[in-house]
Structure 1
Amino acid sequence: MPPSSDADVPAWTAELGLPGLVDVHTHFLPERVLRKVWAFFDEASTHYGTEWAIFYRYAEETRLRVLRELGVTTFAPLVYAHKPDMAAWLTEWVLDFARRTPDAVPTATIFPEPTVAEYLAKALDAGARCVKVHVQVGGFDPRDPLLDPAWGLLAEAGVPVVVHCGNGPRRGEYTGLDVFEDVLRRNPRLVAVLAHAGMPDYAAALDLVGRYPRVHLDTTMVGVAFSEQFAPLPNDWAARLAGNADRIVLGTDFPNIPYPYAEQLAAIATWAGNEDRLGADFLRAVLHDTPSRLLGLSA
């Protein structure tokens, strides 16, 4: 049975034969930045037309304890910039966070600016194993020529980049999977993870998975009751996943979700239960094996 509460998660994971969960999409930020992010969500009714109460609104130490109690053995703490001269110091902060947090993998972020290749190369040399790009919040065009060297570095290194480029939960000036596909055409070896499975354009996101062998989807906020209100999954979602079972990875948006972590896991379990070609093997791949491979935890 899928977990009905966070307390159920460790036993459910153990029943699957997994040593734990690997989450590619969480957020840890400098305190002053996090306060601003949470203040934005406090006004979600204005921004999104719905309330968005942060479920895990705790101090950093408590948030880390919650992840560990859930059985999350490895996670990618993602940071993102919304203006120039921000990405480099955020990357420095999150690399330091990973150094002092054994279960966090080193990450980085980028922004279209003349120094992007310099600080990204430095981060990769320091061991960054995942990069976050937030087209919507950043308000930039991912096709900006200033980013060309960064996309090239990432494609060459094989380091996954979690890209929020879909039109959900609201459209941005440069969002849209068609826009990001221009980046993929120029960098077909890029290991891209489409955040939120391209929400709300799920079918188009799966089409990109079919066309580009290094494109993956993360499960962040996909199929949970909250998101189904404004971005419902297509009826054939589980069947379509069957052909791409090794390209789906666990992501949650912890701690900035308005519901318990277990709800995301239950949604994924529902997909597995609704399609005979998925089942427990799919769950093991999504929750552990595929994200472990992407983050360099296993071959």
Structure 2
Amino acid sequence: MTDGVPAEDPSRAGAPGPAHDDEVAAWVRGLGLEGLVDIHVHFLPERVLRKVWEYFDHAESHYGIRWPVYYRWPEPDRIARLRSLGVHTFAPLVYPHRPGMARWLNGWARDFADRVPGAVPTATLYPEPSAASDVAEALEGGARCFKAHVQVGAYDPRAPELDPAWGLIAEAGVPVVVHCGHGPLRGEYTGLDVFERVLERHPGLVTVLAHAGMPEYDEAFALVERYPGVYLDTTMVGVPFTEELMPAPRDWPARLAGIADRVVLGTDFPNIPYPYATQLRAIAGWAAADDRLGEPFLRAVLHDTPAKLLDL
């Protein structure tokens, strides 16, 4: 047990990738990388983060499964853990659930990036009259990644208030990490078919489908094929915890081989119910499972492609 979380299955010993967090940095260096670039990490104002963690405390009633937050630590300790893992750049994503919150979160995220080396400035949006001006202000302030959480925000991404905001983000070429799949819970406006209406209006929007769109994996691959600016992030995909809930397709590595340059590292740190190394081990397993992937795929996913999206 670690921090009240069961240890990883010992039967996975010898699997590709790092077995524990203390092996991650050396494993990354062994790939010839200067470090990891994680496009899906969460840092939030303290009172907001406490509410998020309280929600996960009751995960059994929400999802039917325990979800103990593995890195339920003070902010300095969480930042230190990312550095010890060799994460040299990360996107600290924020997201609102009510009007008037996006602009405040954007200011907080900008201040966080100013004081934390390795954190890129991020921003978010919400369907309200100020959406376009909020996005414009964030872009002028240097935002290099946006987050849109359709499920938590419980909003329609096709809302007319958001249309000019999507246009501004598309024109700037800044990526937006969008949680629009039905996992872990279906929402009124979740579904990749819903978000495709946004892409139809803004086909140049650089979109990172959070959690690879789970559980709508087939639809996610279809969007990657139809829109050159659509990417998948690895967040929680293929790890034992998620495989019990929303397993990836059995031919996942073979399918990734066809879009190897459209996959980026994401983890959901710190809100995951297992060690960071677990996600890297899943990605390493995909790379080892198909001869078309291997170490070039790992270097692309873990560093090169997210670095390109974040304009490093």
Report the TM range for the smaller structure's normalisation: over 0.9
* 3-state SS of paired residue (2:302): helix
Cα deviation, residue 16, structure 1? 0.3
Matched, 1:265 2:280: yes
Tell me what 1:204 maps to.
219
2:29 matches 1:14: yes
- Check if 1:144 corresponds to 2:159: yes
Residue 65 of structure 1 corresponds to 80
Matched, 1:232 2:261: no
Per-residue deviation at 1:204?
A: 1.1
Q: Which residue matches 2:6? A: none
Deviation at 1:264, TM superposition (A): 0.2
Letter in 2 for 1:62: D
Q: Give the deviation of 1:203 after TM superposition.
A: 1.5
Q: Tell me, what secondary structure is at the counterpart of 2:258?
A: helix
Structure 1: state its 5+ residue gaps: none
User: Partner amino acid for 2:291?
Assistant: D
Q: For 1:95-145, what per-residue CA distance to the aligned partner results, in whole angstroms no more than 9, with x for missing partners?
A: 100011121000000000000111111110110000000000000000001
- 3-state secondary structure, aligned to 1:220: coil
- Percent same amino acid among aligned pairs? 68
Correspondence for 2:61: 46
The 2-side partners of 1:293 and 1:105 are apart by: 13
| Structure 1 match to 2:133 | 118
Q: Distance in 2 between matches of 1:184 and 1:275?
A: 31
Match of 1:217? 232
**In structure 2, distance between residues paired with 1:214 and 1:78:** 20
Structure 2 counterpart SS, 1:38: helix
Residues 1-299 of structure 1: pairs in structure 2 closer than 5 A: 1-297=16-312
What SS does the corresponding residue of 1:240 show, helix, strand or coil?
Answer: helix
C-alpha distance in 1 between matches for 2:136 and 2:110: 13
Q: Distance in 2 between matches of 1:293 and 1:133?
A: 20
Runs of 4+ in 1 over 2 A off after TM superposition: none
In 1: Cα distance, 2:134 partner to 2:185 partner: 30
1:243-264 CA-to-partner distances (Å, cap 9, x unmatched) read 1000000000000000000000
C-alpha distance in structure 1 between counterparts of 2:240 and 2:289, whole Å? 17
Aligned residue identity for 1:241 = L
| CA-CA distance at 1:66 after TM superposition | 0.2
Q: Secondary structure of 1:136's match?
A: helix
Q: CA deviation at 1:197?
A: 0.1
* Corresponding pairs, count: 297
Task: Please give the alpha-carbon distance, in whole angstroms, between the structure 2 residues aligned to 1:204 and 1:278.
Answer: 22
- Matched to 2:258, the amino acid is G
1:199-227 Cα offsets, whole Å, 9 max, x none, are 01111101100000000000000000000
Q: Secondary structure at the match of 1:222?
A: coil
C-alpha distance in structure 2 between counterparts of 1:88 and 1:206, whole Å? 32
Tell me, what secondary structure is at the counterpart of 1:145?
coil
**In the aligned structure 2, how far is the partner of 1:85 from the partner of 1:154?**
19
TM-score, reference length from structure 1:
0.99
Distance across 2 between alignment mates of 1:211 and 1:238:
20
TM-score, length basis structure 2: 0.95
